Amino acid sequence: MSEFPYRTALVTGASSGIGASIVARLRESGLEVHAIARDAGRLAELAEKTGCIPHAISVEDYDALKQLTQEIPFDVLVNNAGQSRSGNIAKTTREDIDSLVDVNLRAVLQLTHLIVPGMVERDRGHIVNISSIAGHYAFAGGNTVYHATKAGVHSLSQQLRCDLYGSHIRVTEISPARVETEVFGRLIGNMEEAKRRFFDEYDSLLPIDIANSVTFAVTAPQRMNVSFMEVLPTTQVVGGLNFAKRTTPKE
């Protein structure tokens, strides 16, 4: 096999933030990149800027994904699309649970299931899953369902390596901490307030940092699989211990 045998890539959640940066970096690496997102306008702008091929479809639209993956043999799949919500399990709605599971986990499983057989047949491919530190650590203030879905993506990444053992198909999980994207503005309904609260006084990661991490893994020599990468801001740590004071249970 040549040192860089990949020709085509599919990136989900590509209209902004991390996804758009990944599209741009993979295009710079010489790949034909197909970008999936729901926002047709932003995709058109991204296509004009990067030369990617836009597909204005939802990752929840299985039939559209199936048709696309049957038409194009993708060498690289970047499962980046994701959603989050605020609130713990007691404050989460049924609709929030369904939406997070559908986008963050079900769509990743379905799209991977559609693309992997072709990779196996060609004995060539690379699956990159964008997870989160929320899938590895429990911390107060995080959305329980979001944590659970990202833990599922982590488990999927591990099991895929077992499924693909002996082939030349690589699996990489990129697990970022806080990245300065629009997701925080959507969570609280005000991007300016989110910027003030979460970013102005912090050195957070930028989307290009995650895109560079993906590109490093994808363009690495074929003998090398970057299986897991946890990417943190220099001034952030994970984990921690909280100890609540004793209280009297309610009767």
Give SS3 for 127. strand
**Domain membership flag for residue 250:** no
CATH code for the domain of 139:
3.40.50.720
**Domain membership flag for residue 245:** no
Q: How many domains does the chain have?
A: 1
**Domain membership flag for residue 46:** yes
Res. 2: pLDDT tops 50 = no
**Domain membership flag for residue 221:** yes
Q: Would you state the pLDDT for residue 188?
A: 63
Catalytic residue positions? 146
Q: Would you state the pLDDT for residue 200?
A: 74
Contacting residues for 20 by C-beta, under 8 A, at least 6 apart: 14, 35, 42, 46, 207
**Domain membership flag for residue 194:** yes
The answer, as to whether pTM is greater than 0.75, is yes
Which residue range is the domain that position 129 belongs to?
Answer: 8-231
Min mean pLDDT across 15-29, 82-96, 149-163, 216-230 is at 82-96
Stretch 54-64: mean pLDDT: 97
Q: pLDDT digit string (tens) for 131-143?
A: 999 999 988 878 8
**Domain membership flag for residue 247:** no
Res. 210: pLDDT tops 50 = yes
Average pLDDT, the chain: 91
Check: CB of residue 29 under 8 Å from CB of residue 215. Answer: yes
Min mean pLDDT across 63-77, 163-177, 230-244 is at 230-244
Neighbours of 16 (CB within 10 A): 18
Give the pLDDT band (50/70/90) at residue 28: very high
**Domain membership flag for residue 22:** yes
**Domain membership flag for residue 246:** no
